[in-house]
Homo-oligomer: A and B are copies of this chain.
Amino acid sequence: MPILKSNQAADGERHSRKQLRLHSSIARDLGMRIVSGGYRPGHVLAGEIEASGQLKVSRSAYREAVRMLAAKGLVQSRTRTGTRVSAVEQWHLLDPDVLTWVFAGEPELEVLQGLFELRTIIEPEAAALAAARRSDKNLQIMRGALERMSQHTLNVEAGRIADKEFHSELLRATRNPFIISLTNGVASAVHALTEFKQRAQALKRDPLPEHWHVFEAIAHQDAQAARAAMAELIQLAIHDMPVKRWPENWTDSRLVRDSESI
């Protein structure tokens, strides 16, 4: 039996798009399997020997993958017990990779709602902070992103990247490290989401005017206007999602927000 290690030929489907390292691609595969419900919380993964054997990789590569997933709160390893999938509450859902994996497939309605709810809470306030603290450089980058966005439109990858850049730079302008840290994660999610939206149906409406409203308010350092414009932008994004009916308690949360402008 020859010891030929024809990795390239043997695995048919691994690391589909980017040239990830072996451990990263294993982590990605396992991670997606977990967040998509393939491996439920509480499920015990196959032992290191068996699992690495099935994947035809070394134990070390597999172990490094598991260690990455553990660092993201998806699994937990113990001697003798094995490696088991953690409860959902333990998952680091705001981790950029996890978020990407969650929105790589068809995201569930509840999850979709949860993300928009978070954005509804954070991004208007972030826009207000950005209006108060933005530098001219922030403004310049945001303008450039919007201009490229209007050139390409959201139907093209380049346009979606420009959209992502706009939101990233906006959050960066808040000068709050924690809010900035949300950037990467939420940005990837929104990016994947826009792709999903586009996949389901061509965009109904051009979201550019609202983006410019936000930009103008931040340019004029008008915090209140920036908050209102961003809230409007997100509401429209929610409305444009190809979703038939939002859950019943969704309207509650909007009611909650509306009541604050009394």
Q: Residues on A close to B: CB < 8 A?
A: 23, 27, 60, 63-64, 67-73, 88-97, 110-111, 114-115, 117-118, 121-122, 125-126, 128-129, 132-133, 172, 175-185, 223-224, 227, 249, 252-253, 256-257, 259-261
Q: Please, how many angstroms separate the alpha-carbon atoms of A18 and B203 in the complex?
A: 53
Contact between chains at A259 and B122 (CB < 8 Å): no
* Chain B residues within 8 Å of A60, by CB: 60, 63
| A121 smallest CB distance to B (angstroms) | 5
The 9 A-B pairs at the shortest CB distance, nearest first, are namely A71-B71, A93-B181, A68-B71, A121-B125, A114-B176, A118-B178, A64-B67, A128-B256, A223-B256
User: Which of B72, B118, B128, B177 interacts with A71 by CB under 8 Å?
Assistant: B72
User: Which of B73, B121, B133, B223 interacts with A122 by CB under 8 Å?
Assistant: B121
User: Which of B89, B133, B223, B256 interacts with A129 by CB under 8 Å?
Assistant: B256
Q: Please, how many angstroms separate the alpha-carbon atoms of A60 and B64 in the complex?
A: 9
* Chain B residues within 8 Å of A111, by CB: 177
Q: Please, how many angstroms separate the alpha-carbon atoms of A233 and B253 in the complex?
A: 22
Number of copies: 2
User: Which of B97, B177, B185, B260 interacts with A114 by CB under 8 Å?
Assistant: B177
Sample 28 A-B pairs with CB under 8 A, ordered by A number: A27-B71, A67-B68, A68-B68, A71-B71, A71-B72, A73-B96, A73-B184, A89-B172, A89-B181, A90-B184, A92-B92, A92-B94, A92-B185, A93-B178, A94-B94, A94-B178, A110-B177, A114-B176, A114-B177, A117-B178, A118-B176, A121-B121, A121-B122, A129-B256, A133-B252, A224-B259, A224-B260, A227-B256
Contact between chains at B68 and A256 (CB < 8 Å): no
User: Which of B97, B122, B132, B178 interacts with A253 by CB under 8 Å?
Assistant: B132
* Chain B residues within 8 Å of A177, by CB: 88, 93, 110-111, 114
Nearest chain B residue, comparing its CB with the CB of A60: B60
User: Which of B63, B69, B117 interacts with A176 by CB under 8 Å?
Assistant: B117
* Chain B residues within 8 Å of A181, by CB: 89, 91-94
Q: Please, how many angstroms separate the alpha-carbon atoms of A23 and B125 in the complex?
A: 39
* Chain B residues within 8 Å of A253, by CB: 129, 132
* Chain B residues within 8 Å of A178, by CB: 93-94, 114-115, 117-118
Contact between chains at B89 and A183 (CB < 8 Å): yes
Nearest chain B residue, comparing its CB with the CB of A97: B71
* Chain B residues within 8 Å of A259, by CB: 223-224
* Chain B residues within 8 Å of A94, by CB: 92, 94, 178, 181-182
